[in-house]
C-alpha cells in the first residue's frame, strides 16, 4: 500500500504536533510532504529536518528575510503569506491536507484543498462555521469523485477475483467517502456512529460538552474570572483560543454549526449535553429509539489518526479506555442562560448567511482581548451579541464568495474592537 502524502497547516500548534506524532508512529503509512505555521521558524525547521520535508511556508510575510531560514536544509522551498500556504495545498503529490490553522485564516486553505480535488482533514472550525455554504458543495463533489474511483477499483478487483479491503460491507451514505474528515472528537465520533447507517433513520445528533472549567458557576461568579482560570480545562489539553471557547461554550456552539453542515442535519435535531468525564465523545439517536455512543480516551491523536486512516483503523496511538476505572457517567443540560455564547451561536446558525461570519469574527476579537487582559470574561458574549445585532440590523446576506466573507469578517472585527473600547467591564 502506498503512503498517504500529507501537508500539515499549523504544524507547530496542538493539533499539528499531535498529527506529527501520529506520522512518527506510522512511518510506513504516512509521508509528510509540506509544513506550515504562522511565525515559528525554529520549530518548523526542526520538524522539516526530522521528517525530511522539502516544502515549508509561513503565514507571516515579514519573515521573508529572517536569517534563521538559512538553517533549512538544502533544496527546501519556503513560501510566505497566504499564497505561500496555498502553494503547499496546490502542490502535486499531495493526497490530503491537514488544516489545523487557527481562526478564519484557514478558510481559504480548506476551500482550495477541495477545489483542487484533494482530501481535507479539518481541524479549523471556522471553515465550516463561516464558509460551510461554500465548502460543503466542494466536499460533496470530491466525495463523488472518490466514490467513483473506489467503485472502479472494486470492479477491477472483482474481475480478477480480489477484494480491495476498503469500505467493504458499508451501507453507502452521503459524505462517507472521506473527502472531508473532521479532526474533532465530537464530529469524529458522530462520523463513526453514522457508519453503515441510513441518514433517513437518524433522529438526533447528541454533541457532548465537558462543561469546561466553570461548569456550575453563576453569571456573577463568571464576571471576575481570569484568563489563567479559563485556560485550566478539566479534561482536554488544547490551544488557548479553543480552550477559552470551551469555557464560554462558544466552542460547542461552533460545533453545532459544523454538525449542521457536515451531516446535513437541521438545528432542531442537533442537541448538546454536558458530559463532564469527556468519556462519551458524542452520540447518534435513531428512529427505533437506539442510541450509538462513541467512547474513548481523551486524546486528540485518536480522531486525528482516524481522519488519516479512514476507512481503515491503525494501531491505537494511546492506551485504550479502562472501563473498570471510569466510574460513573454524568449528564447535564447545557446552561445557556449562564453561558450565552452557545445560544448566540445557535441563533447565528439558524439565521445562516453571513451572520455566523460576523459572530465568529467578533468572538475571535473578544477572546484575543480577554487573553491579553484587555477585557473581562463576560465582555466576550456581550461583544458577540452586539456585533450580531448590528449585522442583523444592517441585513444578513446570502453567502456567495470568500471575498464577500472577508469583507464581513473585517467589518465585524472593527465593530468588535470599537465595542470593547467603550463597553468593556
Q: Which strand (E) or helix (H) includes residue 136? A: helix 126-159
Give the pairing type, strands 96-99 and 202-209.
unpaired
Tell whether residue 330 is among the known ligand binding residues.
no
Tell whether residue 103 is among the known ligand binding residues.
no
Tell whether residue 233 is among the known ligand binding residues.
yes
Tell whether residue 39 is among the known ligand binding residues.
no
Cβ-contact 138, 107 below 8 angstroms: no
Tell whether residue 185 is among the known ligand binding residues.
yes
Tell whether residue 184 is among the known ligand binding residues.
yes
Q: Which residue has the cell 502553494?
A: 87
**CA of residue 10 relative to chain centroid, distance:** 12
Tell whether residue 385 is among the known ligand binding residues.
no
Sign of the dihedral through C-alpha 415, 416, 418, 424 = positive
Spatial neighbors of 33 by CB under 8 A, at least 6 apart, are 5, 6, 7, 53, 54, 55, 91, 93, 94
Tell whether residue 247 is among the known ligand binding residues.
no
Q: Which of 13, 17, 15, 14 is nearest to 39 (CA)?
A: 13
Tell whether residue 126 is among the known ligand binding residues.
yes
Sign of the dihedral through C-alpha 105, 107, 110, 116 = negative
Tell whether residue 210 is among the known ligand binding residues.
yes
Tell whether residue 264 is among the known ligand binding residues.
no
Tell whether residue 251 is among the known ligand binding residues.
yes
Cα 134 to Cα 228: distance, rounded to the nearest angstrom: 37
The annotated binding site for NADPH is made up of: 12-15, 124, 126, 239
The annotated binding site for Mn(2+) is made up of: 184, 186, 255
The annotated binding site for 1-deoxy-D-xylulose 5-phosphate is made up of: 125, 185-186, 210, 233, 246, 251-252, 255
The annotated binding site is made up of: 12-15, 124-126, 184-186, 210, 233, 239, 246, 251-252, 255
Amino acid at each position: 500500500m502506498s503512503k498517504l502524502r500529507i501537508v500539515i497547516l499549523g504544524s507547530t500548534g496542538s493539533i499539528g504536533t499531535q498529527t506529527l506524532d501520529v506520522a512518527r508512529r506510522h512511518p510506513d503509512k504516512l509521508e509528510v510532504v509540506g509544513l506550515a505555521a504562522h511565525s515559528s521558524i525554529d520549530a518548523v525547521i526542526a520538524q522539516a529536518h526530522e521528517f525530511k520535508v522539502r516544502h515549508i511556508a509561513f503565514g507571516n510575510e515579514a519573515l521573508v528575510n529572517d536569517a534563521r531560514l538559512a538553517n533549512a536544509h538544502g533544496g527546501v522551498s519556503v513560501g510566505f503569506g497566504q499564497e505561500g500556504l496555498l502553494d503547499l495545498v496546490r502542490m502535486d503529490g499531495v493526497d490530503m491536507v491537514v488544516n489545523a490553522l487557527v481562526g478564519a485564516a484557514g478558510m481559504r486553505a480548506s476551500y482550495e484543498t477541495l477545489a483542487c480535488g484533494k482530501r481535507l482533514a479539518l481541524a479549523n472550525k471556522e471553515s465550516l462555521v463561516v464558509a460551510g455554504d461554500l465548502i460543503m458543495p466542494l466536499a460533496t463533489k470530491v466525495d463523488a469523485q472518490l466514490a467513483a474511483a473506489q467503485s472502479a477499483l472494486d470492479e477491477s478487483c472483482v474481475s480478477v477475483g480480489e477484494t480491495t479491503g476498503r469500505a467493504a460491507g458499508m451501507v453507502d451514505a452521503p459524505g462517507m467517502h472521506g473527502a472531508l474528515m473532521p479532526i474533532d472528537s465530537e464530529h469524529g465520533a458522530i462520523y463513526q456512529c453514522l457508519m453503515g447507517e441510513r441518514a433517513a433513520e437518524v433522529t438526533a445528533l447528541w454533541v457532548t460538552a465537558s462543561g469546561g472549567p466553570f461548569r456550575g458557576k453563576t453569571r456573577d461568579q463568571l464576571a471576575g474570572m481570569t484568563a489563567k482560570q479559563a485556560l485550566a480545562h478539566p479534561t482536554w489539553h488544547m490551544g488557548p483560543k479553543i480552550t477559552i471557547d470551551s469555557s464560554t461554550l462558544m466552542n460547542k456552539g461552533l460545533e453545532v454549526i459544523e454538525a449542521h453542515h457536515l451531516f446535513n442535519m437541521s438545528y432542531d435535531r442537533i442537541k448538546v449535553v454536558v458530559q463532564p468525564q469527556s468519556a462519551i465523545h458524542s452520540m447518534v439517536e435513531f428512529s427505533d429509539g437506539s442510541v450509538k455512543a462513541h467512547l474513548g480516551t481523551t486524546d486528540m491523536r485518536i480522531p486525528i489518526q482516524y481522519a488519516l486512516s479512514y476507512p481503515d483503523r491503525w494501531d491505537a496511538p494511546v492506551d485504550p479506555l479502562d472501563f473498570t476505572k471510569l466510574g460513573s457517567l454524568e449528564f447535564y443540560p447545557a446552561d445557556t442562560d449562564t453561558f450565552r455564547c452557545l445560544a448566540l451561536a445557535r441563533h447565528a446558525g439558524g439565521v445562516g448567511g453571513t451572520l455566523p461570519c460576523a459572530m465568529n469574527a467578533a468572538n475571535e476579537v473578544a477572546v484575543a482581548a480577554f487573553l491579553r487582559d484587555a477585557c473581562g470574561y463576560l465582555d466576550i458574549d456581550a461583544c458577540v451579541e452586539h456585533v450580531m445585532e448590528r449585522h442583523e440590523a444592517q441585513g444578513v446576506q446570502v453567502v456567495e464568495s470568500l471575498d464577500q466573507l472577508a469583507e464581513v469578517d473585517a467589518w465585524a472585527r472593527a465593530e468588535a474592537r470599537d465595542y470593547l473600547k467603550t463597553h468593556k467591564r
